[in-house]
């Protein structure tokens, strides 16, 4: 097998502000793995939070030696066994991108979609949340009206401004603008326990369905204790990175936001889902801002989650891949073999 890497800059349609940062673009590194005339594709995106820039991603992906495998099926088996990379310190985002490319290629070789490789009989179709960042009430209300008119049933509202009243007002105008839409709230760890206990009843009164990571990550015990007292379901995100984090939080919080780039890919996500099944903690599937290529593996799992927040490609000014939909508030697999995605324009030259 031969691998190629390409870098593409993904511009957002508008800057996305959250409690800790504002983002207007990110770099994507695309991995293409070829064998017998077929190609599988995966994507890893840069992240300041996880300390990964494009150059680092290229270096780490280049170090994964896929050439030593005769076919993608054996490489995928080695990845599942933790034997693919030469170093155990490979970031989950890199593992997820490699797994994506291998799953795509294995599916194409078998003539079957990835969801069938994962044991699902029917194509996954699910409503996805759409994020509204920290912005003015007027802009937030306009976004909410537009999203509701487009078919979105679930909106995730970013919170965590220095003045919490700004967050309350933004949720209030969104609720008024889109009264029939379900709401999630995400402060990205911006609150103290005291602030959360004071604010969550107010957001519950506005019809918010659940809150993601209200407390700063690093103290899962505090998050679990808050969940016991919260009038809203509490979903762990930054505190739930891998299987061991999920083990600590299972039964303590109401949900865990699993992002493939955070946990290490599809099979790592399936292990987390199996671990929390029956514990009272439910699965949320989330994402980073990425292209359709980066979102597609999670869409093949989407029917297993209570909440799906798979809108990263919808935040882009231009998505260079197609195949999972979402503009009407619903993501779905295309039914094509592999991931079922296609590149819609030529990209930059290979870098490796």
Catalytic residues: 158, 259
Distances (CA, A) of 306 to 18, 198, 203, 211: 24, 27, 20, 14
Question: 3-class SS at 258?
Answer: strand
How far is 189 from 216, CA to CA, in rounded Å? 4
- Judge contact between 213 and 238, C-beta under 8 A: yes
Q: Sign of torsion, CA 225 226 229 231?
A: negative
Q: Sign of torsion, CA 87 236 155 187?
A: negative
- Judge contact between 220 and 250, C-beta under 8 A: no
How far is 20 from 16, CA to CA, in rounded Å? 11
Buried b (16+ CB within 10 A) or exposed e, 191-224: bebeebeebbebbbeeebebbbbbbbbeebeebb
- Judge contact between 315 and 290, C-beta under 8 A: no
């Amino acid at each position: 097998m031969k691998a190629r890497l390409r870098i593409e800059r993904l511009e957002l349609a508008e800057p996305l502000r959250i409690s800790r940062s504002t983002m207007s673009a990110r770099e994507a590194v695309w991995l293409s793995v070829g064998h017998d005339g077929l190609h599988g594709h995966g994507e890893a995106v840069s992240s300041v939070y996880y300390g990964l820039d494009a150059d680092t991603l290229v270096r780490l992906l280049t170090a994964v030696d896929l050439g030593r495998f005769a076919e993608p099926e054996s490489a995928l088996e080695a990845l599942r066994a933790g034997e693919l990379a030469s170093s155990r310190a490979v970031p989950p985002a890199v593992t997820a991108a490699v797994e994506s490319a291998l799953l795509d290629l294995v599916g194409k070789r078998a003539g079957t979609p990835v969801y069938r490789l994962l044991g699902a009989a029917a194509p996954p179709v699910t409503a996805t949340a759409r994020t509204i960042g920290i912005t003015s009430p007027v802009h937030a209300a306009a976004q909410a009206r537009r999203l509701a008119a487009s078919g979105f049933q679930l909106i995730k509202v970013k919170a965590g401004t220095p003045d919490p009243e700004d967050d309350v007002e933004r949720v209030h105008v969104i609720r008024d603008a889109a009264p029939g839409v379900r709401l999630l709230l995400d402060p990205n760890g911006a609150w103290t326990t005291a602030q959360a206990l004071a604010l969550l009843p107010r957001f519950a009164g506005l019809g918010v369905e659940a809150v993601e990571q209200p407390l700063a990550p690093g103290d899962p015990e505090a998050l679990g204790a808050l969940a016991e007292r919260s009038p809203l379901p509490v979903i762990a995100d930054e505190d739930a990175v891998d299987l061991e984090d999920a083990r600590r939080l299972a039964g303590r919080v109401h949900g865990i936001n699993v992002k493939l780039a955070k946990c290490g890919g599809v099979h790592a996500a399936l292990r987390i889902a199996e671990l929390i099944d029956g514990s009272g903690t439910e699965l949320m599937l989330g994402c980073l801002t990425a292209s359709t290529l980066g979102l597609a593996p999670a869409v093949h799992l989407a029917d297993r989650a209570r909440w799906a927040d798979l809108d990263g490609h919808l935040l882009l000014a231009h998505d260079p891949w197609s195949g999972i939909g979402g503009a009407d508030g619903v993501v779905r697999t295309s039914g094509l073999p592999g991931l079922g995605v296609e590149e819609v324009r030529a990209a930059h030259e290979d870098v490796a």
